[in-house]
A and B are shown apart, each in its own frame.
Chain A
Amino acid sequence: MRKAEIGATTALALHSLCAAGLATGYWLSHSLYSSSLITDPAPTLRILTVCEAPVVILLFSWLRRDHDRCSFIKAVARGLIGLPIGALINAFGAIVLGAPVGLKFWPATFYWSMLMSLFTFVPAACVFGASKLDWQQILSYSKPSNIVDYMLSVPAHGAIIGAWLGAWPMPLDWERPWQEWPICVAYGAIAGHLIGMLFSPVLIFLHRRHIRTKTE
């Protein structure tokens, strides 16, 4: 079983790879297209998604749950299918919470929900597939037995809470360009995701120590 081999350091390394994907995307959009999230959100989010998607899908497919029955290719395929499904769920959630639905927002909403899907849904889809029990477990924290669970759940929750908090400045009358949908929400999501990725190795470390003391 590979999951036993993963420690806090490995988790940190994997997370930094994800973060590096994001950073590359940001750098690319800045230097190649000289676009930033504030000036033209949709293209920048597209570049971020394109850069982040392979990193996330490949990494988490490698971490897939049942190595015996599920090949690497199959896990990648699960991730690719999960991407639009997750995007749909995220977009729906955003609209429920009050995201604008006007035609001119569609591209930005589309790429934002793709990115959110990469943060939240796709990793779990790669790892679990359609296993209902695993999904329930990861949502409820009832049995935080697995290290991969932490890697999936903490950054995902971070992204969602970050996006939720990121929506708060939107109604303010500061008339800053970044108050437009989905710029500050995207910033919040990225920030929350990064914090979650920093936080999960710490939790993993604590968890392992806890287990070790228990076994001793």
Chain B
Amino acid sequence: MRMRMRLKAAAAAVLCLHCLGVYLFTRGFLLTRTELSAFSLPSDLLQAQAPCCSELPSTTNQDQDLPGWTPPTVERVLILIVDALRFDFVAPSSLFQKKQKWMDRLPSLQHLASTHPSSSRIFKAIADPPTTSLQRLKALTTGGLPTFIDVGNSFAAPAIQEDNWIHQLVHTGRRVVMMGDDTWTQLFPHHFNHSYPYPSFNVKDLHTVDNGVAQHLVPWLHRQDWDVLIGHFLGVDHAGHIFGVDSQPMVQKLEQINAILQNVTDIMNSQKHLENTMLIVMGDHAQTLNGDHGGGTSEEVETCLFAWIPRSLPSSISSIFHPSTCGLGLNGKNICTSTMQQLDFAVSISALLGIPFPFGSIGRVNPELYALSPGSWDRQWLPASFYEDPSSDLKMWKNNYAHVLCINSWQVKRYIDSYSATSVMGFPSDDLHYITKLYNEAQSRWSDSKNRSCKPENGTIDEFSDFLLSFATLARSAWTEFDMKLMVVGLGIFIISIIFHLFVFERVQSLSNVYDNKTQKSSNHLQIYVAFLLVAVRAVSFLSNSYILAEGRVANFLLATTAIGSIRSSLVYGKIKKHDLVFLILIILIRFGIEKGMPKQAATNPFLNYDSGSDFDLKWLPSLFEGHDFVILLPEISPMIILFLLSFLSCKYITSTVHSRCIKWVVTVGTMLSYLFIATFWLSERSFAPKMVYVIGLSLFVLNFVLRYLGILEKGETVQRLRSLALVMVSAWSPTILILLGKQGPFVVLVCIIAGWSIISSKNKGLLDDCKMDPISVMQWSLLAICLFYQTGHWCTFDGLRYGAAFIGFDEFKVVRQAILLFVDTFGISHILPIFSLPFLVTIPNSSSSKGRDKTVIFLNLTQVYLLYGLITAITTTFTVLCVAIQRRHLMVWGLFAPKYVFDAIGLLLTDVLICVSALYYC
């Protein structure tokens, strides 16, 4: 009796620990940001009566054709993106400790920066991780910070759903032309007037994209029918990936880019229509010396932005530029650089072009970039009489900039409010209060200065900037920074739970050794070591993304290893038995099932280069039988035949195992009816049939517990009782799982049954005591469960869920109901069935030695089996957690590691819950 309590208590304690660990780690790791689908509209400012535009109506009335929030300050913008542009490619080498081979290779930009210090500027642009092109482009156009949710989505379907300045441009009738990297056309499929996309994935190709851009760029510069032109060069990125930064191809590539840029600036200087055009040369991210990028190190995030406008600007601009770092350029003149955040780019370019700011942008209009546009020095909002001294350029500019910042702050505040109202996980309320306070102070100061009809002072600009920068900091901490403390605490709790688990397991182990001291005492120590070695191999394999992708095949490999090991011991102790060979053949079948799912997975996962043609080409097989009718009929008929076989098998086993007569009848009839309904569903697609299957399954499941507590199933010997309990439980679940799996269901369940039988009959080679727990069998059981998960067409990403299964028997969508079905489909064959059927491992061998065994010993063994199974799952999941924590800055963290973590965490909690239920039910 104490023994039974022990399993329940231990299982409950482990469940609690795991819940806590998963909760804490998830809070620290899974950064979530909800994408808002709202778009900014030109009329928003008037409708919302934003506090900044009290004087706007006069302007908007005059300029009905200007649909933006702010007047445009440049006519056109030419954006040339050089992928993976490092800051030291552009900045003068005198700024760095040592002149390297790749520095000063873009002299055309340096020349402009030194000869036109008041109309050009080199910025060090700080990007936010992840520094991969797709995520950066998304951030650059929306002005947001990509996190788990949106990055997770963008790997599957890249088109941008959030508001962005490309959308605003198109919406306000501007003409956008794009040339270069085809990622742009994936992100914006219908936005460009003209686009010249070139493939971006062939890293070894250094020239196609760049030559394509160079070929189209010059003709377009001579044309006038565009407003924004985007050119995206990829050669520098590819040269970095292949040869590294310190290489001759990189130098050649930079020289080619320099020649193109020189040509562009010459044309801009000579063409009249380009006089009011801003040239922006920028990198989307930088790269390390090896050419890698994706992470958050300073080498990867410190990219460059160069801006220049051919028109000359007032010289007072120099007072706007921040005190900056300067160095001598190639021609001996001084070149100064500033620092900006890439986050600010989207809103700055919107302000320059005079379009509504993207709804989700959280940046600040960069003063230095804004000052580079001639329009920002013109009178925009206020009547001339307002100033006694209209010639003061600087005052005018400050007034304009304060206006823009006010609108900017209003837009960000609007985003904060609507984000807090709609998102699942908002910002911490203390921080929100602080931010709101800053905003209110800035706004009240702004309106005060208006009412007293004096000039907006420097203070206003500072207060707005303070608000915007504070919010950007808050957003960064919520969306891009993992909470390491929580993650470490969560991981620590996982480790504590494993230690606790091991301790309990060891106690039970020593207890069981006391009970059967007559036989070999240390006999299963070796097997425990082997089992833990296999667990360790599996656990360590999660450190590599490749092994996570190939997890099904790794589990299959380990399962095959144990099977071959068991054949070896069969040889040693006698001869090879039938079930050993059957098991090997089953493993081959399971493996084919796993490999069949791989191409499907590869189709949606860009990281998995799975060559379906080479590994699994049995295409020649059907051609052998071409023209025969049975080839067409076979896939239709075989599930039916196997279903029939299954119903026969289960009928036979239920009648022979369950002794209580009434239960025998109830369960047999229930199971038969379920199989009948499944067959009807497949033949006629009637939707009532699956519903009946679910109802029968649920009522059998409930009935089991009721009967169990009424004591009806208590009769008979312990072993027999346990066996019939497990059989009834499995029969209650299997028809539901089977119908959800679809036509593959009968085959999979048959494989499951035969494999289980092989594992049970091959356990404990050479030991006298058949019922003693064999750790290797438990390990095999768990490996088989993983194999079945992959064999049934699942894999650990969200597009690996079989959504079709949720609609078997139902046409309309209801969240809870469909979620439950999907859950049962995903975890049924890999968690629910294997865990409920674990008692078979202890009770099936009906040899003479098990007859009349002590009740306590059997429960001891059952406890051992459940504890070991839970321990195996807990150890692998803990390693998944550890690997995810280690790889949190990995390029594939959102595409691969995070989904794997989510699946494993859910699987672990489910395993714990099921063990608790089993402990209640069986003990």
Contact = CB atoms under 8 A, between A and B. Distances in A.
A10 B544 CA distance: 45
Q: On chain B, which size bracket covers the interface?
A: 20 to 34
Interface residues of A, number: 23
Given A97-B560, A103-B617, A140 B549 contact: no
Contacts of B556: 98
A104 interface: yes
Interface in B746-796: none
Contact of A139 (B545, B571, B591, B613): B571
A79 to B, nearest CB: 21
B317 interface: no
A135 interface: yes
Interface string A166-192: 010001110100000000000000000
Given A96-B588, A136-B571, A102 B545 contact: no
A173 to B, nearest CB: 5
Nearest to B563: A96
B614 A102 contact: yes
Interface string B559-601: 0110110001001100000000000100110010000000000
Nearest to A95: B588
Contact of A171 (B550, B563, B588, B618): B550
A135 B553 contact: no
Contact of A173 (B546, B571, B613, B615): B546
A139 B564 CA distance: 13
Contacts of B616: 100-102
Given A96-B560, A136-B571, A171-B546, A102 B553 contact: no
Contacts of A135: 571
Contacts of B557: 97-98, 167
Contacts of A175: 609
Contacts of B563: 96
A164 interface: yes
Nearest to A167: B557
Given A97-B560, A98-B560, A173-B546, A140 B615 contact: no
Contacts of B587: 96
A93 B614 CA distance: 20
A162 to B, nearest CB: 14
A142 B607 CA distance: 49
B651 interface: no
B554 interface: yes
B787 to A, nearest CB: 11
B567 to A, nearest CB: 9
Interface string A68-95: 0000000000000000000000001101
A172 B618 CA distance: 24
A72 B99 CA distance: 76
A139 B572 contact: yes
Given A103-B617, A136-B571, A136-B572, A96 B550 contact: no
The binding surface of chain A is classed by DSSP as helix
Nearest to A105: B614
B617 A171 contact: no
B554 A173 contact: no
A140 B572 CA distance: 6
Contact of A172 (B544, B564, B588): B544
Nearest to A100: B615
Contacts of A95: 588
**Residue among A92, A102, A135, A136 having the largest count of chain B Cβ atoms under 10 Å:** A102
A136 B609 CA distance: 44
A167 B571 CA distance: 25
B386 interface: no
A95 B616 CA distance: 12
A95 B588 CA distance: 7
Interface string A36-52: 00000000000000000
Contacts of B544: 172
B364 to A, nearest CB: 40
B620 A171 contact: no
A100 B553 CA distance: 12
A173 B563 CA distance: 28
Interface in B521-557: 544-547, 549-550, 553-554, 556-557
A93 to B, nearest CB: 6
Contacts of A139: 568, 571-572
A173 B620 contact: no
Contacts of A97: 557, 560-561, 564
B516 to A, nearest CB: 24
A136 B752 CA distance: 32
B564 A93 contact: yes
A78 to B, nearest CB: 19
B609 A173 contact: yes
Contacts of B591: 96, 98
Nearest to B615: A100
A103 B547 contact: no
A76 B587 CA distance: 35
A171 B549 contact: yes
A100 B560 contact: no
Interface in B856-884: none
Contacts of B561: 97, 164
A102 B914 CA distance: 40
Contacts of B620: 103
A181 to B, nearest CB: 9
A96 B584 contact: yes
Nearest to B587: A96
A102 B584 contact: no
Contacts of B617: 102-104
Contacts of A136: 571-572
Contacts of B547: 171-172
Interface of B: 544-547, 549-550, 553-554, 556-557, 560-561, 563-564, 568, 571-572, 584, 587-588, 591, 607, 609, 613-618, 620
7 contacts: A96-B560, A98-B553, A98-B557, A102-B613, A102-B615, A104-B614, A105-B614
The 8 closest A-B pairs by CB, nearest first: A171-B550, A140-B572, A102-B617, A172-B546, A97-B560, A100-B615, A96-B560, A173-B546
Interface of A: 92-93, 95-98, 100-105, 135-136, 139-140, 142, 164, 167, 171-173, 175
Given A101-B616, A104-B617, A173-B609, 8 more contacts: A96-B588, A98-B556, A101-B618, A103-B617, A105-B614, A136-B572, A142-B572, A173-B546
